[in-house]
Structure 1
Amino acid sequence: MSAMPALTVYGLSQCDSVKRARQWLQSQGLDYSFVDFKKTPPSAAQISAWAEAVGWEALLNKRGTTWRKLDAATQASVIDAPSAVVVLAQHPSAIKRPVVEVGDRVLAGFDEAVWPDALSGFLR
């Protein structure tokens, strides 16, 4: 029997979406590791890989406080994946949370309607 790929959750420990996602994972009996952006910010290479996996538009949280507090010039500079990666590397709190890596899959944001199918190999 092959081992399950590791499940890693990235985000901010105080973020409500991250809290809900972690509670959901626990309620499903899923083991995961958690990486807090405040303590261990993601690298530009990691953000680039996430953007490639889910699309930079899905990774960028334009509804969040961090994005809204950025100056207009910074916001306007985000026009494609490379420019989004630069801004997200400087402001990891503007990343849609949580980001979940499971094997070669990446999920951005918590969606209770999508996660059961996306994580079906992990559910008991």
Structure 2
Amino acid sequence: MKMLFICYPKCTTCQKAKAWLDTKGMEYEFRDIKLNHPTEKELKHWIQKSGLPIKKFFNTSGMLYRELELTKKLPTMSDEEQIKLLATDGMLVKRPLIICDDKVLVGFKEKEWEQL
């Protein structure tokens, strides 16, 4: 499977991550998270594969996250409810995401990406 790179093209962090991938000559499939947001099934799979808690998949610095007051609401929501919410809007999901056969990276941390 080719690496899947999911991002929001207007996000500066995503732009840096894309430039990094391109500089390294990495092959990837590009997916705009706003136009083609993750499904519940994809999110469940990625969360499980990443080994990260669901909260790490939320874009906590996003406007929608703040508008919905998720800092207050998430602690009382079940895992299933959180995943359903994430699947409603790509702007709720932390980005960029890298999806590989054996690994899922959330956010752009150059050291982690270097190991990829």
TM range (shorter): 0.7 to 0.9
TM-score (norm 2): 0.85
- 1:95–1:18 CA distance, 2 compared to 1 (3 A): same
Structure 2 match to 1:17? 13
List runs of 5+ in structure 1 lacking aligned partners. 120-124
Over the residues paired in the alignment, what is the CA RMSD in angstroms?
Answer: 1.9
CA contact (8 A) 2:4 2:31 kept: yes
CA contact (8 A) 1:66 1:91 kept: no
> Does 86-95 or 62-71 show the bigger shift?
62-71
- 1:85–1:57 CA distance, 2 compared to 1 (3 A): same
Letter matched to residue 9 of structure 1: F
CA contact (8 A) 1:67 1:75 kept: no
- SS where residue 114 of structure 1 aligns? helix
CA contact (8 A) 2:38 2:87 kept: yes
Give the number of the structure whose alpha-carbon radius of gyration is greater. 1
Q: Describe how 1:88-107 pairs up with structure 2 within 5 A.
A: 88-107=86-105
The list of structure 1 runs, each at least 4 consecutive aligned residues, that deviate by more than 3 angstroms after superposition, is: 77-80
List runs of 5+ in structure 2 lacking aligned partners. none
> Does 51-60 or 96-105 show the bigger shift?
51-60
- SS where residue 10 of structure 1 aligns? strand
Deviation at 1:80, TM superposition (A): 4.1
Deviation at 1:104, TM superposition (A): 2.4
Letter matched to residue 114 of structure 1: E
Q: 2: CA distance between counterparts of 1:58 and 1:77?
A: 12
